Amino acid sequence: MNEKFFDLKKEKQDRMINAGLQLFAVNGYRNTSTDEIVAGAQISKGLLFHYFNSKAGYYSFLYDYITRYALLELNTRIKPGKHDFFELERDFLRAETALMDQYPSYLLFLDSVRLEQDKEALSSLNQPEQTVFAFYAAREAESDYSAYLRMDSRDTFCSVLGYVKAGIMREVIRDKARGSAEYQRRMGAVLDSFQRLAASL
């Protein structure tokens, strides 16, 4: 189905990807009309359906594509093995920042998928081999936490970090701040703060 899509000129592909990421991320699935999408991507109505069959098919494609793309980047930057826990989190932060530079709405889109409530949208999604969030969990699980044992459960702490990450990201993008830099600054500060706390004798 979607293979045909990759025969298009890269520039057109990118227009079609970015239009969807941005619109779905900002407005949600239901509030994004196919009219808006084709206007944003500067293509005709028919073409959207030619390549993706349906709005839901397009949504699903974007999710697959961006998941794969992000995992490629993450795998390249963050090799398996024992990392110091906070070093690892800072690697994540760097990778996220780099990805945001390429696909500005990347994180907001992935987060909006988690918050998506539309049944049609949700049931269109393929379970990916590995989600971006599963990748995080895997690396965090094998990381070296021994210096921070005063924070009882690593799992609890990771989920706390996850909530904070999602919260900051949402605010950053809502405020239309210069995305990646602002996000990096605020999340970096939280990591510093926690590390100091957890490491104090």
Partner DNA sequence: TATGAATGAGCTTTCATTCAT
Partner DNA sequence: CATGAATGAAAGCTCATTCAT
Residues of this chain that bind DNA (CB under 7 A)? 4, 7-8, 12, 32-35, 43-47, 49-51, 53-56
**Closer by beta carbon to a copy of itself, 84 or else 118:** 118
Interaction residues for a copy of itself, span 94-123 (CB under 8 A): 115, 117-118
Residue 200 engages a copy of itself in binding (rule: CB under 8 A): yes
Each residue 25-44 as x (binds a copy of itself by CB under 8 A) or -, in order, gives -xxx-xx-------------
How would DSSP label each residue in 60-89? HHHHHHHHHHHHHHHHHHS-SS--BHHHHH
Q: Which does 26 bind (CB under 5 to 8 A by kind): a copy of itself, DNA, none?
A: a copy of itself
Which segment (7-15, 37-45, 126-134, 187-195) binds a copy of itself by CB under 8 A?
A: 187-195
Token digits of residue 194: 């926690």
In the complex, what is the shortest distance from the CB of residue 56 to DNA, in angstroms, rounded to a whole number?
A: 6
Residue 153 engages a copy of itself in binding (rule: CB under 8 A): yes
- Distance (Å, rounded) from C-alpha 13 to C-alpha 70? 17
Q: Which does 53 bind (CB under 5 to 8 A by kind): DNA, a copy of itself, none?
A: DNA
- Distance (Å, rounded) from C-alpha 147 to C-alpha 15? 46
Residue 152 engages a copy of itself in binding (rule: CB under 8 A): yes
Q: CA 105, 130, 163, 33 torsion: positive or negative?
A: positive
Residue 188 engages a copy of itself in binding (rule: CB under 8 A): no
Cβ–Cβ under 8 Å, residues 179 and 100: yes
- Distance (Å, rounded) from C-alpha 61 to C-alpha 55? 10
Token digits of residue 119: 């049944």
Q: Which does 35 bind (CB under 5 to 8 A by kind): a copy of itself, DNA, none?
A: DNA
Residue 47 engages a copy of itself in binding (rule: CB under 8 A): no
Query: What are the residues facing 84 on neighbouring strands?
Result: 144
- Distance (Å, rounded) from C-alpha 164 to C-alpha 159? 9
Cβ–Cβ under 8 Å, residues 111 and 166: yes
- Distance (Å, rounded) from C-alpha 201 to C-alpha 190? 19
Token digits of residue 143: 């990381």
**Closer by beta carbon to DNA, 61 or else 145:** 61
Token digits of residue 160: 């706390």
Contacts with a copy of itself, residue ranges (CB under 8 A): 26-28, 30-31, 115, 117-118, 150-153, 156, 159-160, 162-164, 166-168, 170, 189-190, 193, 196-198, 200
